[in-house]
Chain A
Amino acid sequence: MAGENPASTTEYIQHHLTNLVYGNHPENGWGFAHGAQEAAEMGFMAIHVDSMAWSIGLGLLFCWLFRSAANRATTGVPTGLLSFIELVVEFIDGAVKDSFQGRNKMVAPLALTIFVWIFLMNFMDLLPVDLIPELLMMVGVPYQKIVPSTDPNITLGMALGVFILMLYYSIKIKGTGFVRELTMHPFNHWAFIPVNLFMETVGLLAKPFSLGLRLFGNMYAGEMIFILIATMFAAGAGAGIIGGGLHAQIFGEQTSAWFWLVIFILVCGVCRLNLKGKISTGRTVLLCMVFMTIGGGLTALGGGLMQWGWAVFHILVITLQAFIFMVLTVVYLSMAHEEH
């Protein structure tokens, strides 16, 4: 659980749903907000530092990864990372070819960027909910939301970027045809121009809005379920059947965060050894069970299994949402390129 010992489940959830906000407080001046209320008082000119840092960092990671793969690309048979990157690029290329009718060199790279970037941002959801916020709390950062796509500012910002591109290409390709489309569309008569304009504008604005909110809603709900599983079991972890007694002996009431981290690294290490073929799968499962039992008693093991189960289902959701965002962007841009 969080370091400052939140009194109840509600506080724990709210703590996890609060961004790290930097802005100008009317009384305290420029600085980080302490709590949601102070963040609200900062008004419009405040920035979610954690969302910005994670999303830009993941964007740079994407650029670096794909650039390094592109530099190493050969005509031979690709291996390892290179073949994976090639798979992703070909997949996006196929999807764009299927749904984009116009001629534009920018759309396929844009689609690739959107897909991989959103996937990476969504992927942060699969990291254990307490891991990074807890670690950052030890160095004095009070709030941290590590999944940028659970922040509506990020998703709606991306949708706004797509919307601007839609308008730009509509005007560039169709010219006055775009105005005709807005004013003369369902009913082709001058008397219906206000009605047409209203209907078409609503239709146009609904596109970026639904695009951003869909991604946000899915990620927010997924994050919420991870947090709820954590509250259900973390509360009982201290009193776990086997590990709990051990913890009480060593740490007293509250188990410190580095202990969870050590267990997490041990489990990851064992899984990695298994992937490399050093130890058998049966032994891997056994070792993981032992580590998790020591880590938090049987309740935490149950919690871990539930987190794992939801995470497996969530892999589908995060990929699907990144894919949908990408496909809809391409479809909208394709509509902007259609000449009537």
Chain B
Amino acid sequence: MELIYIAAAIMLGLGALGAAIGMGLLGGKLIEGTARQPELGPMLQGKMFLLAGLIDAVPIIGVGIAMYLIFVVAPTAAGA
């Protein structure tokens, strides 16, 4: 039963870790690129948002599943 909470914690933590690294690289490179060639800024920003959405998807799915585990699966398992 308690393992469900551990599972949710790992899911949230590692998901956030990966996304944070990805976002950090992405944002850093965007700023580097824009500083180098400011006229490409808007185009790069559009592409960055697209990739940010792609990076964001996996951890947010993890958040959804973790919430489901904590608030639905764990109480049901405790009650059963």
Contact = CB atoms under 8 A, between A and B. Distances in A.
A317 to B, nearest CB: 8
Given A214-B57, A217-B61, A218-B57, A327 B71 contact: no
A268 B64 CA distance: 30
Contacts of A323: 49-50, 53
Contacts of B79: 10
Contact of B49 (A214, A225, A320): A320
Given A217-B60, A218-B57, A228-B71, A10 B76 contact: yes
B16 to A, nearest CB: 13
Nearest to A221: B64
A8 interface: yes
B64 A220 contact: yes
Contact of B57 (A10, A217, A231): A217
A228 B53 contact: no
Interface string B40-66: 000000000110111011001101110
Contacts of B72: 10, 13-14, 17
A17 B71 CA distance: 13
B75 interface: yes
Interface in A298-323: 317, 320-321, 323
Interface residues of A, number: 23
A324 interface: yes
Contact of A224 (B50, B53, B68): B68
Interface in A189-229: 213-214, 217-218, 220-222, 224-225, 228
A327 B50 contact: yes
Output the residue of A217, A231, A327 with the most chain B CB within 10 A. Answer: A217
Nearest to A213: B61
Contacts of A222: 60, 64
* Shortest Cβ-Cβ A-B pairs, 8 listed: A221-B64, A217-B61, A320-B53, A214-B57, A10-B75, A324-B53, A224-B67, A221-B60
Interface of B: 49-50, 52-54, 56-57, 60-61, 63-65, 67-68, 71-72, 75-76, 79
